[in-house]
Structure 1
Amino acid sequence: MWKLLYKLELITGAIALSSFSVLIVVGVFTRYVMNFPVAWAEEASLIAFAWLLFIGGAICAQENTHVIIEIIMPERGTGQHRAMETGASLVAAMVCAIMTYVSFRYTVEAAPMMTAMLRLSTAVYNSAAPAGFALMTLHLLRHGYLAFTRAEPDHPAENGI
């Protein structure tokens, strides 16, 4: 299940990144080369960017590449390290769960509003936030569980940024 979810996130992120890149190029080309700006390209690129941002955050949560302050992390493999890894994941999951709820409510309340150029419901881009935060919550809960049950939680060899 996790591998399928990860693949779906990667595909969605790749589509959002590709769309965003193409739409930005189209917008710049029509504005500065053709001297005829296409307003819908900017609006569509903002929608793609919103999805890229939140799905990218979910991918980072899945890969456990969040920022870690190494100075306060105990040596890996110790009980203290497992406790801090578990605690950090659970606190982050709680914050993401709250943000899922808040962003979902906002998406529902703002859904009747339409975008200026494409005349789409604002839910098209606002729904990226609850989707991304929900995925982040799932991944962070999983990492908290893995940190709690294993001596060495699964994360990349290089932590943080």
Structure 2
Amino acid sequence: MRQLLVRIDDALVAVENLFLIVAHAAIAVLVIAGVALRYVFNDPLTWGEELIIGLFTWMVFVAAASALRAHMHIRIDAMAPLWRRPALRWMNLATVIVGLAILGVMTWASLEQLAQEWVVELPMLGVSKAWFLAAMPVGMVLAAVHVLRLWVEQGAAGVFRGEVESLTEGGEA
């Protein structure tokens, strides 16, 4: 089971990274093309802004999951040293369980929103607004998979540790 989780997570990380590269490049090209078409040729790219916003939305949620996997989220480290004490180590487990619960609730709420917005069509692209809103539940599920893998490999204390801790303790950043 552990090897399956590791393989799935590794595949998801590869897809996330490729998606982030392609989406970032597409946004850059669309912005440059939009500016050139609007100001040089006086013919604006009417659907470009909607697509840029959609791609950026997807980038935010996929990158949030990717950042969690790489221990790149900002956190307040005032409590972390306390949780290393043997009597308070249970707090690490509580943090992981609460974190997974929050991801679950956010996934559920975003799926509810997605169902309501499925019938709303974007005016310029002519596609359902749900295609853009799907970024949140996908990002939450990706984050949950990453949390599970980190939990299995590094224990509860290793899931939400910061980048500096990962580097100073010899962990992977």
TM-score normalised by L of structure 2: 0.77
Moved over 6 A (4+): none
The superposition leaves residues 32-86 of structure 1 with CA deviations (integer Å, 9 ceiling, x where unpaired) of 3323211111111111111101110110121122222122211796546754443
5+ residue gaps, structure 2: 1-6, 167-173
* Preserved CA contact (<8 Å) 2:114 2:133: yes
> Does 2:112 align with 1:98?
no
Structure 1 residues 40 and 148: alpha-carbon distance in aligned structure 2, compared to 1, 3 A threshold: same
Distance (whole Å) between structure 2 residues aligned to residue 6 and residue 13 of structure 1: 10
Assess if the C-alpha contact under 8 Å between 2:72 and 2:163 holds in 1: no
2:24 pairs with one of 13, 17, 22: 17
Superposed displacement of residue 156, structure 1: 6.7
- 2:33 equivalent among 26, 39, 56: 26
- Separation of aligned partners in 2, 1:76 and 1:158: 16
Q: Is the 8 A contact 1:90 1:141 kept in 2?
A: no
Question: How many residues align structurally?
Answer: 158
- 1:140: Cα distance to partner? 2.3
Q: Compared with structure 1, are the counterparts of its residues 83 and 64 closer, same or farther at alpha carbon in structure 2 (3 Å cutoff)? A: farther
Q: Which consecutive residues of structure 1, in runs of 5 or more, have no partner in the other structure?
A: none
Equivalence for 1:127:
134
Partner of 2:50: 43
TM-score of the superposed pair, with normalisation by structure 1:
0.82
- The equivalences for 1:142-161 within 5 A come to 142-148=149-155, 153=158, 157-159=163-165
- For residues 69-119 of structure 1, the C-alpha deviation after alignment (integer angstroms, 9 at most, x for no partner) is 122211796546754443333322211111111111111221111111010
- Indicate the residue corresponding to 2:94 in structure 1: 87
